Amino acid sequence: MNRFLPLLGVAALVATLAACGGGGSKSPTTTTSSKQGAPTLHAGKLVVGFDLPAAAFWNGRASGNTIKNPSGFEYGLALDVAKQLGISASNVTFLRAPFATILLAGKKPYDFAMEETTITAQRAKVVGFSAPYFDANQGVLIAKGVKKPTSIADLKSLQMCAQAATTGLDWIQHKLRPTKQPRVYSASSSAAFDAVHSGACQALILDVPIIEAQNQKQPGAYGGVVGQIDTHEGYGAVFAKNSPLIPDVSKAIRTLQSDGTISKLTKRWFGFDPSKVPVLK
């Protein structure tokens, strides 16, 4: 599906950042190399950060700092990336890392996190990103009883909401500028989805695949995904700034794109075609 091909603009940003060591001056990072040469935190092992809820991206039950019965798109992709790095699935561990923390500067307790994180130049000033592995425009999920918007202008008078520290919130505040102050929900997307369900929020702006997966997970709970905003965004794995592992993981992602692995994962875990979600203008 064309919507899931790497975005040229985002890919160019990542390529530029990689050429510059992740977008800033290099600082030493303490790592060890696996037998295959990938500079992971622990030789021959890989630690991947995740967070819940993330329907279709990460399925399972959080248990302390790890996850029970994991499955999903990013879980499968993390294992496929590990294989490309020469690391067996038995040597991959998963560490819960709340989304609000992964974009902070400093060392990370994981090699990289996969948490539906949009690559932006601003974020790349403090963390590192891999090549994009998923195309994710912003989408509009409305509450039941709300008149279906057919244009961006129709959103201005609605009670908008968003998850804190997301590009969806940034778009509402700096692009849409609605007549009512948007409601912001921190921690995770659960509170925002609950607000749409209850009607406290009339329209949630969040990544299309996330709201589409939630809409399918709870059929009838919402007014539906009524459109997307063409923001040309892509997800990338998140690293500590200047991590020497970035080129290896980016190469692995490009290989998994070219050999069809990412396409197969997409078809398996997402039962919708984002190209059919109308673009609001």
Cα separation, 12 vs 20, in Å, equals 12
Structure confidence at residue 96 as a pLDDT band (50, 70, 90): very high
- How far are the Cα atoms of 80, 134, 182 from residue 213, in angstroms, in the given order? 22, 14, 23
What number of CA atoms fall less than 13 Å from residue 275's CA on the CB side?
5
pLDDT at 1: 34
pLDDT at 270: 86
pTM of the model: 0.73
Cα separation, 151 vs 148, in Å, equals 9
Bridge pairing between strands 234-235 and 134-135: antiparallel
The neighbouring-strand residues paired with 163 are 185
Residue with the two structure tokens 């790890």 = 66
Residue 18's closest CA among 243, 280, 218?
A: 243
Higher-pLDDT residue of 266 and 28 is 266
pLDDT at 24: 36
pLDDT tops 90 at residue 179: yes
Q: What is the DSSP letter of 56?
A: T
Give yes or no for a contact between 155 and 142, defined as CB atoms under 8 angstroms apart: no
pLDDT tops 50 at residue 23: no
- What is residue 224's three-state secondary structure? strand
Cα separation, 248 vs 252, in Å, equals 6
pLDDT at 22: 39
pLDDT tops 60 at residue 26: no
pLDDT tops 70 at residue 11: no
Full set of structural domains in the chain with CATH: 2-135+235-276 (3.40.190.10), 138-229 (3.40.190.10)
pLDDT at 187: 66
* pLDDT mean over 255-274: 89
Amino acid at 260: G
pLDDT at 50: 98
Q: For residue range 29-38, list pLDDT tens digits in order.
A: 344 444 457 9
Cα separation, 20 vs 16, in Å, equals 6
Cα separation, 112 vs 97, in Å, equals 10
Cα separation, 143 vs 24, in Å, equals 43
